[in-house]
A and B are shown apart, each in its own frame.
Chain A
Amino acid sequence: MNMKTTADRATGGFFLLFGVLLYFVIIPKYVEVADGAWLMPSTVPNAIAVVLSICGALLMLKPTAHRVQNTREMMFAGLYFTLLAAGLLLMSYVGFVYAAPVLALAVMLLIGERRPFWLLLGVVGLPAGIWWLVAYVLERALP
């Protein structure tokens, strides 16, 4: 068996460390000890930590032939993720009505949409439609 770095070895190592971290650091710090319980608050989480570590170690020893998709796709996914996060941050400050058109425009431009009709529909029609439905018809609060 060769010991090349594979995707599975990397994630296996991650889960091995994560399990150890859970067991020795995170669970003792963020789970309370109850006085008198059939099942302690930490029992099941600790069991999970042990399982994660063991499986992580096993995966390092016996990785599968899993292939990760190409870097370009991963980077684009990360880009869209960041865009969404920024959109949400904006929304939490200025509200849906102002943030939604900006977010819609950014997403559509990044996809590559340049046709004015569809852009207009996404930037004006879509947020307006959602506003009309949620705030006006259903009388619910928009984010």
Chain B
Amino acid sequence: MVDLATILAGFADAFTLWNLLFVLFGVVVGQFVGAVPGIGPVMAMAIAIPFTFGLDPLPAIAFLVGVNKGGLVGGAVPAVLMNTPGTPDAAATAMDGYPLARDGKPLKATKMALFSSVTGDTFSDLVLITVSAPLAVLALRMGPVEVFALMIFAFAVLSGLIGNSLIKGVIAAALGLLCAMIGSDPENYTPRLLFGYWELFDGLPLASVAIGMLAISEILRRLSQIQGEMKGAIEVRDTGDPNDRRVTWAEYWACRFTMLRGAVIGTILGALPGIGSTAAAFMSYATAKSTSKEPETFGKGNLHGIAAAESANSAVVGSNLIPLLTLGIPGSVGAALIISAFMIHGIQPGPLLFQDQGRLIYGLFGAMIMANILNLWVGQAGLRFWVKVVSAPESIIFASALLLCIVGVSMATGGIFGVAVMLIFAGLGYLMTSYGYSVVIFIISFFLGPRFEVSLSQSLALMNGDWTQIVNYPIALILFVLAAVTTAWFLSRRTPEDPGASVSIED
């Protein structure tokens, strides 16, 4: 265990002006770059890494943590203001954030996203700082069979998002899973469904699919609806009511249980490597919607929807560091980038990290807390800036969003091939929405797909291909039962539409 003097020395390091400046710089860069359509939080970190080569370890890692946390807040901005999320977890934020922004309350929507993001993040940081060791041991107990059960549970929770048709929801999920099959199979690494394009050997590039489906397809829809009249991409209506421009304490406090639940879901999923913030955001959102007294207001600008999504996806980031710092296992791409930064500075994350580098780690914890506070402060100013930017004419906003998505995806995937894939998925996303198939279900299924198949293969290997051995895995059994109960409960709460109604294609 680390002694108190080391802990205090570490925190003292974090609060030196020099290190604080790097945290602040990171938060500003992260919020700005993360908010640019097509770039997003992970890309912001990947870009920032080379700039840390020449720094000392603490400012370097403090800077990256700042970028990571700032990027998370920034990532919600295009989702809320333009309905063009760059990552699937922000798509959950868009579901209620965008309707609110469209109603002329963009500042209220983005501020709610900011507050709940910082709340969830702070919660999981505190968990990380205080009880990371026992949680890491718990995460180790979650073997492949348990993770497979958890994936089934996640898919079950997805059924809470299915709209008016169960069949069409299943089709959307199956299509997402099918696209996740492209690349190589998880056991023998044989090329699968490549159609001669070896560039696809690692699977469809995530950035291309997410940005194409979520952002570009929405931009196509908005462009097609413009009727020659030039107006701002978003209108800030002056209603004279100052409450439309801010989140009141009462509104924030009313969401406390939603945010707490989101933070807990995000922290738990973040501590398990490889599940990620997408599942967390949607599980939190679906739960908030189903337990709400007025589920019909979700998707129409309910603050609880924003709070549920943002608190959960931000909580993942802090607890992603639990397996990273205690076991050296990155839980996400962002965490992998932080490992890379550790290694460049000669630090090997793993079992001896707290003993060898205790002071640095507590310095990092201090920097994380400061980054949260700065995020709140910078965010207040930053959000006003972005709302102003998005009030510019649609012509310039959409033209820049398109160019930025092209450049961002090209940087993330290493060339024009990834951009072409993005465009194909933009077309697919547009068609799916037009014909009433949920793009969100598709994308979640696509993101969960690879882990689903790997853990299925691993489970079969561990159980020697014999499913009756599942009785030896009580946690997995509980999760399977929970999945069945959840599915039944969600489906029973759906309001089935009149099956007799059928309308022919309009021309």
Contact = CB atoms under 8 A, between A and B. Distances in A.
Given A84-B402, A88-B406, A48 B504 contact: no
Interface centre among B175, B498, B503, by most chain A C-beta atoms within 10 angstroms, is B503
Nearest first, the 7 closest Cβ-Cβ pairs linking A and B are A41-B185, A113-B395, A38-B460, A76-B224, A77-B224, A66-B436, A34-B188
Nearest to B460: A38
A99 B402 CA distance: 13
A48 B173 CA distance: 9
Given A8-B168, A45-B181, 18 more contacts: A1-B502, A32-B188, A32-B191, A37-B457, A45-B178, A67-B506, A71-B506, A73-B224, A81-B427, A84-B402, A88-B420, A111-B398, A111-B399, A113-B230, A113-B396, A122-B396, A143-B406, A143-B416
Nearest to B176: A48
B157 to A, nearest CB: 19
Given A45-B192, A55-B171, A112-B228, A67 B503 contact: yes
Nearest to B163: A64
B503 A66 contact: yes
Interface of B: 47, 164-165, 167-168, 170-171, 174-175, 177-178, 181, 185-188, 190-195, 216, 220-221, 223-226, 228-230, 393-396, 398-400, 402-404, 406-407, 410-411, 415-416, 419-420, 423, 426-427, 430, 434-437, 453, 456-457, 460-461, 465, 497-507
A37 B461 CA distance: 9
A58 B190 CA distance: 34
Given A70-B506, A112-B226, A59 B398 contact: no
B402 A68 contact: no
A32 B404 contact: no
Contacts of A10: 505
B192 A30 contact: yes
B163 to A, nearest CB: 9
Contact of B416 (A2, A32, A92, A138): A92
B193 A26 contact: yes
Interface of A: 1-2, 4-8, 10-11, 15, 22, 26-27, 30-32, 34, 37-41, 44-45, 48, 51-52, 55-56, 58-59, 62-71, 73-77, 80-81, 84-85, 88, 91-92, 96, 100, 103-104, 107-108, 110-113, 115, 118, 121-122, 126-127, 130, 134, 138, 140-143
A31 B224 contact: no
Contacts of A118: 393, 395-396
Contacts of A112: 226, 228-230, 395
B457 A104 contact: no
Given A30-B193, A45-B192, A84-B423, A122 B460 contact: no
A5 B504 contact: yes
Contacts of B181: 44-45, 48
B433 to A, nearest CB: 9
A127 B419 contact: no
